[in-house]
């Protein structure tokens, strides 16, 4: 799928036979979503070595077209008016350079329960919210070579178990606050009232990236407040093994003088990082801002890239696996575009396997031309060097505009066809010994 950009099976397969082949791959009982998700982090483990990694997690709903008589076995999404699967994804981004280092883990599932009694719904919500803590705890192993990890989630991820279970040696948490909280000790103050009482420490003008047609890019004038807080375990928290209180830092950043008709930005960020000065507080805001990358990943997997939601695959089980594969493909797309000039100095192994790199090495001289501009300018085995080869395969001519996602897509498609043939030939040479 990585090689053919679109996940629509009609287009994925060049012939009817291929189409059935791709369908039977995702419908094969031996191919499980769990195994696909496990394979997400294959290259990430090594890529994070020695870095401060932002482990950014979020959930997206992947909607598929259904009819009353053909729900494809899909559960309800959204406000119950859509059908599809849910994908929870954690991705690794370098905190200092903002380089995308790959996927870390997550879950992709189909909501089977259609029972709507409030009690069941609540149980389901509880079950589903565990993904935030579970994904973060599992990430520790994949990210064990990182110098430091900061797990980042939006409001949805601000559940008390996260504060109790996730932080550890070199593992921090940074979450946007979901709702007001009780503070520990004898106090009437809450998280919100205490934030309001902090003095304004700093102000700034920052550029906000466009999030959607409704949220265009704009300059925002911000006020920053921060201070230490101690939150209390919620009275209704079922897990009484969780610590009764958690010492955290609260960074409050709010937009003042927002343009008419625009909802002013207001982030209340809770973190285990020590925030003892203004520079650190701004850094926290900046790290939270890098959550943009996971939103971009979801956009690339869907309408702005792979077109995942147009898939015609007939079963929910197949669509769950397809969605799991699409997340990885979208991530690779983003990584190639981001590193085409080698700004981050990443190694090719951040995306490609050793076998892939053997093929890329063999291809490189065949794609170089006579002039200086037609030579691969990047150090061998760097990701930029690999991206140069992929772009050339995608018919990029070394002049003019730098290669974009479409070119990389075409290149990757061609690369995999060549790689497959090359591997077959290598295997044949190894296996067929003529006496």
Do 27 and 317 meet the contact criterion of CB atoms below 8 Å apart? yes
Number of residues that bind Mn ion (CB under 5 A): 3
Q: How many C-beta atoms lie closer than 10 Å to residue 17's C-beta?
A: 8
Q: Which of 154, 356 has the CB closer to Mn ion?
A: 154
Residue 156: CB minimum distance to Mn ion, A:
5
In the bound complex, what is the minimum distance in angstroms from residue 200's beta carbon to Mn ion?
29
Least spacing, CB of residue 68 vs Mn ion, in Å: 29
Residue 214, both tokens: 């409704």
**94 vs 154, beta carbon nearer Mn ion:** 154
Residue 154 or 255: the one with the smaller Cβ distance to Mn ion is: 154
Output the smallest distance, CB 251 to Mn ion, in A.
19
Looking at 7, 94, 102, 154, which residue binds Mn ion (CB under 5 A)?
154
What element of type H or E holds 201?
none
Cβ count near 19 (within 10 Å):
16
Query: Contact letters (x/-) for Mn ion, 104-143, by CB under 5 A?
Result: ----------------------------------------
CA 315: distance to chain centroid? Answer: 25
CB of 326 to Mn ion, least distance (A): 18
Binding mask 198-237 for Mn ion (x = CB under 5 A): ----------------------------------------
Q: Which is nearer to Mn ion, 178 or 232 (CB)?
A: 178
Characterise 130 by phi-psi region: left (phi > 0), alpha (psi -120 to 50), beta (else).
alpha
Q: Report the alpha-carbon angle 259-296-330, nearest 5.
A: 165
Radius of gyration of the chain (CA): 24
Q: Which residues of 193-229 are buried (b: 16+ CB within 10 A; e: fewer)?
A: ebbeeeeebeeeebebeeeeeeeeeeebebebbbbeb
Task: Tell me if residue 86 falls in helix, strand or coil.
Answer: strand
Q: Which is nearer to Mn ion, 4 or 296 (CB)?
A: 296
Min CB(157)–Mn ion separation in Å:
7
Our finding on whether 58 is near Mn ion (CB under 5 A) is yes
Q: Which residues contact 218 (CB under 8 A, 6 or more apart)?
A: 207, 208, 259, 262
Interacting span for Mn ion (CB under 5 A) from 51-59, 70-78, 190-198, 278-286: 51-59
Residues 344 and 374: their CA atoms lie apart, in Å, by: 22
Nearer to Mn ion, 78 or 380 (CB): 78
Question: CA–CA separation, 18 vs 16, rounded Å?
Answer: 5
Give the whole-angstrom CA distance, residue 273 versus residue 241.
Answer: 23
108, 87 in Cβ contact below 8 A? Answer: yes
- Shortest approach of Mn ion to residue 176 CB, angstroms? 9
Applying CB under 5 A, the span of 53-61, 212-220, 225-233, 327-335 interacting with Mn ion comes to: 53-61
String of b and e for 67-95 (b: at least 16 CB within 10 Å)?
eeeeebbbbbbeeeeebbbbbbbbbbbbb
Which of 46-54, 146-154, 315-323, 415-423 is the region at the interface with Mn ion (rule: CB under 5 A)? 146-154
Determine if 156 is a binding residue for Mn ion (CB under 5 A): yes
Q: Is 79 helix (H, G, I), strand (E, B) or coil?
A: coil
Q: How far is the CB of 66 from Mn ion (least distance, A)?
A: 24
The nearest distance, CB 59 to Mn ion, in angstroms, is 5
Residue 129 or 423 with smaller CB distance to Mn ion: 129
| Using rule CB under 5 A, residue 61 touches Mn ion | no
Q: Which residues bind Mn ion (CB under 5 A)?
A: 58, 154, 156
């Amino acid at each position: 799928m990585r090689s053919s950009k679109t996940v629509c099976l009609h287009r994925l397969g060049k012939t009817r036979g291929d189409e059935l082949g791709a369908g039977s791959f995702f419908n094969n009982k031996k191919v499980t979503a769990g195994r696909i998700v496990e394979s997400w982090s294959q290259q990430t483990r090594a890529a994070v070595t020695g870095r401060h990694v932002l482990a950014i997690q979020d959930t997206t709903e992947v909607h598929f077209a259904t009819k009353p008589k053909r729900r494809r076995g899909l559960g309800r999404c959204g406000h119950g008016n859509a059908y599809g699967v849910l994908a929870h994804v954690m991705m690794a981004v370098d905190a200092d350079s903002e380089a995308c280092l790959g996927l870390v883990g997550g879950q992709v599932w189909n909501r089977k329960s259609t029972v709507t009694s409030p009690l069941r719904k609540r149980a389901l919500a509880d079950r589903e919210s565990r993904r935030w803590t579970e994904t973060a705890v599992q990430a520790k192993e994949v990210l064990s070579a990182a110098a430091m990890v900061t797990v980042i989630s939006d409001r949805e991820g601000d559940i008390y178990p996260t504060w109790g279970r996730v932080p550890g040696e070199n593992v921090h948490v940074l979450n946007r606050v979901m709702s007001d909280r009780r503070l520990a000790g004898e106090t009437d103050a809450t998280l919100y009232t205490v934030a309001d009482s902090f003095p304004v420490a700093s102000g700034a003008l920052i550029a906000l990236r466009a999030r959607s047609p409704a949220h265009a890019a704009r300059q925002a004038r911000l006020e920053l407040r921060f201070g230490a807080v101690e939150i209390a375990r919620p009275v209704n928290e079922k897990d009484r093994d969780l610590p009764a209180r958690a010492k955290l830092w609260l960074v409050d950043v709010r937009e003042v003088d927002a343009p008419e008709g625009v909802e002013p930005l207001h982030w209340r960020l809770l973190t285990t990082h020590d925030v003892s000065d203004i520079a650190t507080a701004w850094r926290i805001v900046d790290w939270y801002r890098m959550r943009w990358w996971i939103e971009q990943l979801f956009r690339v997997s869907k309408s702005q890239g792979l077109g995942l939601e147009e898939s015609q695959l007939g079963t929910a089980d197949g669509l769950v696996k397809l969605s799991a594969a699409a997340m990885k493909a979208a991530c690779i797309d983003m990584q190639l575009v981001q590193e085409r000039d080698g700004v981050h100095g990443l190694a090719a192994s951040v995306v490609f396997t050793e076998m892939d790199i053997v093929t890329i090495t063999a291809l490189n001289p065949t794609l170089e031309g006579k002039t200086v501009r037609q030579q691969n300018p990047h150090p061998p085995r760097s990701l930029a060097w690999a991206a140069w080869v992929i772009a050339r395969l995608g018919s990029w001519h070394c002049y003019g505009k730098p290669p974009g996602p479409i070119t990389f897509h075409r290149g990757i498609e061609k690369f995999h066809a060549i790689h497959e043939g090359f591997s077959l030939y290598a295997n044949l040479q190894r296996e067929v010994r003529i006496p």
